Structure 1
Amino acid sequence: MKAKHPLRKRLLIAGGVLLAVLVVLAAGFFWYVSDYYRAEDVALAVLAQDDGIETRDNLTILSPSVPSDTAIIFYPGAKVEAAAYLPLLDQIRQTGVTCILVDMPFRMAIFDPNAAEDVMARFPDVEHWYMAGHSMGGAMASQFAADHPDQVDGLILLGAYIYGDYPPEDTLTVYGSLNQSVEDKLDYTENVVEIQGGNHAQFGNYGPQKGDLPAEISAQEQQAQTVAAIEDFIAARQAA
Structure 2
Amino acid sequence: MTTQTSRPAAWFSWASLMLSAATLGVILWACLTAWGAVVHGHPAYAIVLTISALGALLLGWLSLRKIRRRSKDERAETIRIGVWGVVWRVLLIALGVVWIAILAWLRPYVAVEPALAAMHSDKTVTVTETTTDIELRPTDAKTPESSTGVFFQPGALVDARAYAAVLRPLAEDGHTVVITKQPLGIAFLALSAFDSAKASNPEVAQWVVAGHSLGGTVAAIEATEKNAPVAGLLFYASYPANDISETLTVPVESISGSLDGLATPAKIKASRSNLPADATFTVIKGGTHAQFGSYGPQSGDNTPTISNEAARKQISEASVSFVDSVSK
TM category (shorter chain) comes to 0.7 to 0.9
Distance of 1:149 and 1:228 partners within structure 2: 29
Find the counterpart in structure 2 of residue 118 from structure 1. 196
For 1:238 and 1:48, the matched residues in 2 are separated by: 26
Secondary structure of the 1:187 match is: helix
Secondary structure in 2 matching 1:141: helix
* Paired letter, 1:116: F
Match of 2:155 in 1: 77
Q: Pick from 298, 301, 311: which aligns with 1:209?
A: 298
Q: The residue matched to 1:153 in structure 2 has which SS?
A: strand
**Identity fraction in percent:** 29
TM-score by length of 2: 0.63
Partner of 1:52: 126
Name which of 47, 56, 68 aligns with 2:146: 68
Q: Deviations over 1:126-165 (max 9, x none)?
A: 1011111100111111111123464211111000012342
Letter in 2 for 1:203: F
Task: Map 1:85-164; keep pairs closer than 5 Å.
Answer: 85-148=163-226, 150-164=228-242
AA paired with 1:55?
A: E
Amino acid at match of 1:84: A
SS in 2 for 1:90: helix
Which residue does 1:178 correspond to in 2?
259
Residues in 1 aligned to 2:173 and 2:149: alpha-carbon distance in whole angstroms: 11
Going by fraction, where is helix more abundant, 1 or 2?
A: 2
Look at both structures and tell me which one has the larger radius of gyration over its CA atoms: 2
Moved more, 119-128 or 106-115: 106-115
Shift of 1:12: 7.0
Deviations 1:52-72 (A, max 9, x none): 111122111001124432211
| DSSP-derived class of the 2:184 partner | helix
Does structure 2 conserve the Cα–Cα contact (< 8 Å) formed by 1:159 and 1:182? Answer: no
Q: Which residue of 2 aligns with 1:24?
A: 97
Deviation string 1:31-79 (CA, Å, 9 cap, x unpaired) is: 2102x32111321122233551111221110011244322111111112
Q: Letter of the aligned partner of 1:87 in structure 2? A: A
Q: Does the 8 A contact of 1:198 with 1:215 survive in 2?
A: yes
* SS of residue in 2 equivalent to 1:186: helix
Decide whether aligned partners of structure 1 residues 67 and 208 sit closer, same or farther in structure 2, where only a CA change above 3 A counts. Answer: same
Q: Which runs of 5+ in 2 are unaligned?
A: 1-81
Q: Distance in 1 between matches of 2:234 and 2:213?
A: 11
- Determine if the alignment matches structure 1 residue 227 to structure 2 residue 316: yes
How far is 1:20 from its partner? 4.4
Contact 1:133–1:141, Cα closer than 8 Å, also in 2: yes
Tell me by how many angstroms 1:176 deviates. 0.9
Q: How many positions carry a matched residue from both structures?
A: 231
RMSD: 2.4
Q: What does residue 111 of structure 2 align with?
A: 39
| More off after superposition, 180-189 vs 15-24 | 15-24
**1:5 aligns to what?**
none
Displacement of 1:169 in angstroms is: 5.5
Residues 1:124 and 1:19: Cα distance change in structure 2 (over 3 Å) = farther
Amino acid at match of 1:159: A
Segment drifting more, 84-93 vs 225-234: 225-234
- Relative distance call for 1:109 and 1:103 in structure 2 (3 A) is same
How many angstroms does 1:93 deviate by? 1.1
Paired AA for residue 120 in structure 2: A
Instruction: Decide whether aligned partners of structure 1 residues 176 and 17 sit closer, same or farther in structure 2, where only a CA change above 3 A counts.
Output: same
